[in-house]
Structure 1
Amino acid sequence: MMSNLTSDYIQSKKEVENTIVKCERILPKFKIGTSQHTLLINRINALNISKHLIEKELSQSIISLQFSKKELEDALKPIESIIHKCKKAQSKYELSSNQYKRYSPLIDSMEVCKTLIERELMI
Structure 2
Amino acid sequence: MDNFTKKDMEEALRVITSMISKTEKAKEKFAQGTPQHTLQKNRLQALNIALSLISEELAESDALDYYSKDDLKKAFASIDSLISKSEKAQKKLAQGTWQHTMLSNNLKALYITLPLLTKALREIGAGKEQIE
Structure-1-length-normalised TM-score: 0.88
Q: 1:20 to 1:67 in 2, by over 3 A?
A: same
Give, in whole Å, the separation in 2 of the partners of 1:121 and 1:37.
27
Identity over the aligned pairs, expressed in percent? 33
Structure-2 separation of matches of 1:8 and 1:103: 16
| Equivalent in the alignment of 2:40 | 40
The number of residue pairs the alignment matches comes to 119
Deviations 1:12-69 (A, max 9, x none): 0011100000111121210000000001000000000110000101111247643111
2:118 equivalent in structure 1: 118
Gaps of 5+ in 2: 124-132
Report what 1:89 is aligned to. 89
SS at match of 1:23: helix
Contact 1:56/1:64 (CA < 8 Å) preserved in 2?
no
Alpha-carbon separation, structure 2, partners of 1:93 and 1:26: 21
Alpha carbons of structure 1 residues 45 and 112: separation in structure 2 relative to 1, 3 Å: same
Q: Which residue identity is paired with 2:15?
A: E
Gap runs ≥5 in structure 1: none
